[in-house]
Amino acid sequence: MILAFDFGGTKNTCALFTRNEQGAFHMENIARRASPPNPDYAYDYATMLELAHAVLRGRAPQAIGVSFGGPVRASEGLVVLSHHVAGWENVLLCEQLEREFQTHVVMDNDANVAALGETKFGAGRGCASVFYITVSTGVGGGWILNGEIYRGANELAGEIGHVVMDPNGPPCVCGRRGCVEQLACGPAIARTARAQLEKNPARGEILRGLLENDLAQVTARRVNQAARAGDELAREVMDNAARALGFALGNVICLMNPQRIILGGGVSNAGEQYFETVRAAARANVMPELREAVDIVPAALGDDAPLWGALALVT
């Protein structure tokens, strides 16, 4: 009986995994709660205890795996901070949970945990090396190499979002320009679409219709929806974002030759044309020997990847 926590910033989730008759784990019970505006550490922690007790119903877990949405020092069980929730600075979360539940606790950041979850239970099953990328509000990534999480010297490996593709590109929160994040993430797609709509008043009819002509309402989801419905402007914006990401992934493949790349986050639902454009751009940007090695697929576990990964951390 394994408890899995996902401290997600805007929502907290807890799942209880138990073994079925064949010995395989299944998710017996899950409890999720969206956070109110401006949650803090005390809220997150108290909420998670509540959710845990709701799924445990009096039983004791054998171990706890934790996914945390922010930088952590996994080896120390320490949360460095949360970018979304105040008060998480330097919390020794594993120690705290070990006292609370009298059992073994392992934690890692959400990208690493989701990478592990997809590799063990999702779109990367059977792969020794996987790069998991989440493309939504931001762009992050996690590595599974030689079958285990690879964290890097400062536990900062996987920051594909801040690999620079175009030193003259749009400015990034990190202080540089043309980072992958600024070319490929959801807000970048929305921003580009809006700029294109403003510049081309005669184009983008389907997208304008979806937005009821209120350009401030544009989101990546709407742009993709319009693209799939045949809107050419929206299709160009989606294609450019997919090409930028694919080009970056070609470089990743040259450098690391992972067995598979898994795209999670919002774009995992973007549809086959988006994925084909990403793959084509990656294939065009690898050495000929690596063209056949381009294997880029959507994530399979959706929002549950961190929970399955948290399970994998302790089993």
Q: Which residues bind a second copy (CB under 8 A)?
A: 127-129, 141, 143, 145-146, 148, 150-160, 162-164, 167, 174-176, 247, 250-252, 254-260, 285-290, 293
| DSSP line for 234-265 | HHHHHHHHHHHHHHHHHHHHHHH--SEEEEES
Residue placing its CB nearer to a second copy in the complex, 129 or 196: 129
Work out how close the CB of 259 gets to a second copy at its nearest, in angstroms, rounded to a whole number: 4
Angle, CA of 163, 166 and 168, to the nearest 5°: 130
Backbone φ/ψ region at 117: left (φ over 0), alpha (ψ -120 to 50), beta? alpha
CB of 18 to a second copy, least distance (A): 31
Residue 118: Cβ-neighbour burial (10 angstroms; 0-12, 13-18, 19+):
buried
> Nearer to a second copy by C-beta: 1 or 290?
290
**Whole-angstrom distance, CA of residue 167 vs CA of residue 244:** 13
Q: How many CB atoms lie within 10 A of CB 126?
A: 8
23 HSE (CA, 13 A, CB side): 1
Would you say 120 or 283 has its CB closer to a second copy? Answer: 283
Q: Residue 112 CB, nearest distance to a second copy (Å)?
A: 12
Q: How far is the CB of 47 from a second copy (least distance, A)?
A: 29
Nearest distance from C-beta of residue 234 to a second copy, angstroms = 25
When the beta carbons of 152 and 230 are compared against a second copy, the nearer one is 152
Q: Tell which residue, 187, 175, 169, has the closest CA to residue 265.
A: 187
- Residue by residue, DSSP assigns 110-155 as HHHHHHHHHHHHSTTTT-S-EEEEEESSSEEEEEEETTEEE--TTS
Q: Smallest gap, in angstroms, from Cβ of residue 160 to a second copy? A: 6
CB of 185 to a second copy, least distance (A): 15
Nearest-CA neighbor of 146 among 282, 298, 65, 256?
A: 256
Instruction: Give 4 or 115: the residue with its C-beta nearer to a second copy.
Output: 115
User: Which one, 72 or 227, has the nearer CB to a second copy?
Assistant: 72
In terms of DSSP bridges, do strands 130-135 and 104-109 run parallel, antiparallel, or are they unpaired?
unpaired
Residue 129 CB, shortest distance to a second copy, in Å, is 6
CB nearer a second copy, residue 147 or residue 209: 147
> Quick one: 152 exposed, middle or buried, by C-beta within 10 A (0-12, 13-18, 19+)?
exposed
148 versus 276: smaller Cβ distance to a second copy: 148
Q: Do residues 26 and 9 lie in contact, with contact meaning Cβ atoms separated by under 8 Å?
A: no
Alpha-carbon distances, residue 8 vs 48, 70, 74, 87 (angstroms): 11, 9, 17, 15
